[in-house]
Amino acid sequence: MSQLFVVTRPALVPGFQLAGVDAHGADDVESAQEMIQTWIHAGESGLLAIDDGLLARMDEAFIKRLDSAAQLPYIAIPGGKPLGEEASQKDRIAALIRQAIGAHITFKGKDENDE
């Protein structure tokens, strides 16, 4: 039987569990990789949804192993606030727009000291 496995930040786990999803919290990339590796070795099958902040920081070798695990395909899901370096909401929106249209934008009234 296929399942949906969610690996996200511990603060977001209860929301997924309330929706009936098998969600697991990972404080850091290493614990997320260990958890996923356990599922791969156990032969679990299903869809794996990984917090995009965690996925972006996973080892390239681990991503290759995950790609080769056909029984456990994965997708990235938004995890809310960024891990590591903090970014303002305006910065995140500007980055999304820049990625979508290929042009750098600035918000009116934004300067170096504006948070």
Q: Which CATH class is domain 3-81?
A: alpha beta
| Token duo for residue 74 | 């994965």
- Rounded CA-CA distance 43/40 in Å is 5
33-54 pLDDT, tens digit per residue, is 999 999 999 999 999 999 988 9
pLDDT, mean over the chain: 83
Domain ranges of the chain: 3-81, 85-115
Is the pLDDT at 4 greater than 70, yes or no? yes
Non-local CB neighbours of 73 within 8 Å, separated by 6+ positions: 47, 48
Taking the alpha carbons at both ends of the chain, their separation in whole angstroms is 48
What is the DSSP annotation of 70-107? TTS-EEEE--SSPSSS---HHHHHHHHHHHHHS-----
DSSP letter at 12 equals G
Using alpha carbons, select from 35, 19, 17 the residue that is nearest to residue 27.
35
54-108 pLDDT, tens digit per residue, is 998 899 999 999 999 989 999 998 876 655 555 566 666 777 777 778 776 666 7
pLDDT of residue 109: 63
Q: How confident is the model at residue 114 (pLDDT cuts 50, 70, 90)?
A: very low
pLDDT of residue 24: 95
pLDDT of residue 112: 52
